[in-house]
Chains A and B, each alone.
Chain A
Amino acid sequence: MKDTILELRGIKKYFPIQKGLLKRTVGYIKAVDHVDLFVKRNQIVGIVGESGCGKSTLARCILRLYEIDDGKIFFNGKDVTTLTKKELKSYRQKVQIVFQDPYSSLNPKLTIKSSLMDGVKQANVEKPKRIEKISELLELVGLPKDSMHKYPHQFSGGQRQRICIARALSLNPELIVCDEPVSALDVSVQAQIINLLMELKEKIGLSLIFITHDLNLVGYFCDYVYVMYMGKIVECAPTLDIFKNPHHPYTRLLLDSIPGKRKQRPDSVFINKQDSQLNTQCGFAPRCKYFSKKCENNLDLREIEKGHWVRCSLI
């Protein structure tokens, strides 16, 4: 497909569990387990799930900040899985990341100008035009020009997140991976940042991967949603489909848990049995109310409507 900007095929990232003096590997934590994911141009793709489900690991895998154990990443149709360090530079120019915590992701000893300068240099902007470019960037994210001479501690959380976004934009990326960019911010400031991201999407045709645990946000502005649980995608569909017609019990649990708009009590039964006693590959089984004999069947993502995929044996 021509309009697919990023394509992940069977991405795997296992972390070894090491024990003892000799650091023998006794098992693996399957942080990301066979994830397929597509991002179309100028689309906002949401990844939701509880903490510990592998969302952030996936984000780091996409940027190849972690070496993946298996699978392929295609960017604009080109395989980027095997790029060398040098070649990676140009890939990372086009794919940027904004982290969750704006307090720890800016160097406190650098002025905003020097924080942004690195990116501007990488983007091959000629020397005399660099300062101009930086003020343009700051303007784009809604900060006054003279803030380039200040240090991070002089800004509030929301402003720092704007700076992080400006830094990501300094390389003229085509795709930005946002790893919970607003969860550390107050609601009013969060709304400012969300508006900014929407504006950028429309103005410069950016594509976004938006990682979050806030379903209100996903419903508000993502085009396509992936629901992740224990390293696997359990359901994916266009946003409206997933909100109106959720199939996987986990998705339903998440949707029912949104405060304020609860239609029914979420059926969050926590303990069925211990993991080992359940004869199933489904990671959600210990918490699932609908667990039955059928769950022993093979588990694959299946398409149940056009564009709506579910990993559950009961459906």
Chain B
Amino acid sequence: MENPILTVQDLTVQIKNQQDITILNNINFDLQKGETLCIVGESGCGKSFTALSIMGLLPKKAKAYGKIMFKGKNLLQLSNEELRDIRGKEISMVFQDPLTSLNPLFSIYEQLSEIFIAHGFKNKKELKTRCLKILEDVKIPDPKTKLFSYPHELSGGQRQRILIGMAVALEPDIIIADEPTTALDVTIQYEILSLFNRLKRKKGLSALYITHDLSVVSEVGDRVIIMYAGTILEQGPKESILNNPYHPYTKGLLNSIPSLEKRGSYLTPIPGFVPSAENRPKGCPFHPRCLKKQAICTKKVPDKTFVSDNHFVYCHLVK
């Protein structure tokens, strides 16, 4: 591909304990300018760790290897000061839980203006108009009074809007959203998704959207990465993944979604559950839960197989 804005190469994250636990194992992907890349998987697959390593927010015990290239710099080798300049201004993040991501002791204005001040903005008068503009951007009703309210006075949807507003305030190049709608109702979810799409288009952002819900992917994504147990299992364009999946895990995820059409028959869920990071199996990481497992699956990690130009899968069954 031509001109990626972010390239992740051989990203491996380990946690140092009595024995080293590998959380992420050789992750490779790139993010093109203006596209939305979705990372999909169950909890405990390493989706959030991928996001945290890009932001340089990994816990102290974790050690990241490999390369994350952004504008010619390797993010993994930057110092804290250098990272602080990038965070918020060039890469920003929206977290899952809008209830805990805002500080309950400070007003919305104080928290919004902090971003501008932290990045060297001094004119106090303009600060307020800038903050108001953010609230208008994310369509908060009655922005003038809401600006001086405290987080508990706002609903969950409104808080998530403010967080998205904060994330795009300095017009970053990349926005990383970690399950931003999981805690919200369907109606609010729709509004947040359309807000996200609108802002992305308007400001020409690239986005990394992390979710476990494949039905959300159909609303926001351009390309999809399916992750499982710290590795990538399948990657391809959205339509191709949703309509024509190859990996048994992707198929299982799609089959698990209940719907009106599937009434009257049992769902076909993926048996078992995600293994913890300490006891991940040998060979293909998915084999203990795979219904089509063969002898080779338990021994050898499958190679990358291209099924079309930009759709590939790691599975022994796909030839």
Q: How far is the CA of A52 from the CA of B189 in the complex (A)?
A: 16
Interface flag for B43 (CB, 8 Å): yes
Q: How far is the CA of A199 from the CA of B262 in the complex (A)?
A: 16
Is B258 an interface position by the 8 A CB rule?
Answer: yes
Which residue in chain A gives the minimum CB-CB distance to B182? A183
Proximity string of chain B (230-268) to chain A, C-beta cutoff 8 Å, 1 when within and 0 when not: 000000000000000000000011011111101100111
Across the interface, which residues of B come within 8 angstroms of A65, CB to CB? none
Check B186–A215 contact: CB distance below 8 A.
yes
**Residues of chain A with a CB closer than 8 A to B271's CB:** 192
Interface string of B166-204 (1 = CB under 8 A from A): 000000000000000000011111110100000000000
Chain A residues whose C-beta falls within 8 Å of the C-beta of B274 in the assembled complex: 156, 186
**Chain B interface bracket (under 10, 10 to 19, 20 to 34, 35 or more):** 35 or more
Say whether B215 faces chain A, with CB atoms less than 8 Å apart. yes
Residue among B215, B257, B269 making CB contact with A192, cutoff 8 Å: B269
Return the contact of A259 from the options B219, B252, B260 (Cβ within 8 A).
B219
B214 at the interface (CB under 8 A from A): yes
- Docked complex Cα distance between A243 and B259 (Å): 11
Do A259 and B190 form a contact, CB below 8 Å, given A192-B269, A219-B263? Answer: yes
A188 and B253 contacting across the interface, CB-CB below 8 Å: yes
| Stretch from A35-43, A171-179, A266-274 contacting the other chain | A266-274
Instruction: Tell yes or no: B218 within 8 A of A by CB.
Output: yes
Cβ distance B279 to chain A, nearest Cβ, rounded Å: 13
Q: In the complex, which residues of chain B have a beta carbon less than 8 angstroms from the beta carbon of A188?
A: 42, 252-253, 256, 269-270
Question: For residue A192, which residue of chain B has the nearest CB?
Answer: B269
Q: Does A194 count as interface, using CB distance less than 8 angstroms?
A: yes
The B-contacting residues of A in range 191-247, CB under 8 angstroms, are: 191-192, 194-195, 198-199, 213-217, 219-221, 239-240, 243
Interface contact B267-A186, CB-CB below 8 Å: no
Q: Work out how many contacts link A and B, with CB atoms closer than 8 A.
A: 111
B218–A156 contact, CB under 8 A?
no
Tier of interface size on chain A: 35 or more
Given A188-B253, A195-B266, A198-B266, CB of A220 within 8 Å of CB of B187: no
| A159 within 8 Å of B (CB atoms) | yes
Whether A253 is near chain B, meaning CB under 8 Å from some CB there, is yes
Report if A254 contacts B (CB, 8 A).
yes
Q: Which residues of B contact A266 (CB under 8 A)?
A: 187, 190
List B209-230 residues whose CB lies under 8 Å from chain A. Answer: 212-216, 218-219
- CB contacts (< 8 Å) of A271 on chain B: these are 141
Q: State the Cβ distance, A22 to closest chain B Cβ, in Å.
A: 25
Among A190, A191, A240, the most chain B Cβ lie within 10 Å of the Cβ of: A191
Q: Which residues of A contact B258 (CB under 8 A)?
A: 190-191, 194, 214, 216-217, 219-221
Q: Which residues of A contact B (CB under 8 A)?
A: 50-51, 156, 158-159, 186-192, 194-195, 198-199, 213-217, 219-221, 239-240, 243, 253-254, 256-262, 266, 268, 270-271
12 new A-B pairs (CB below 8 Å) besides A191-B255, A217-B258? A188-B253, A192-B269, A192-B271, A198-B266, A213-B186, A214-B258, A215-B186, A220-B259, A240-B260, A253-B187, A257-B189, A257-B190
Across chains A and B, which 10 residue pairs bring their CB atoms closest together, nearest first? A191-B269, A220-B258, A219-B260, A260-B215, A191-B256, A188-B270, A186-B42, A191-B267, A50-B185, A257-B190
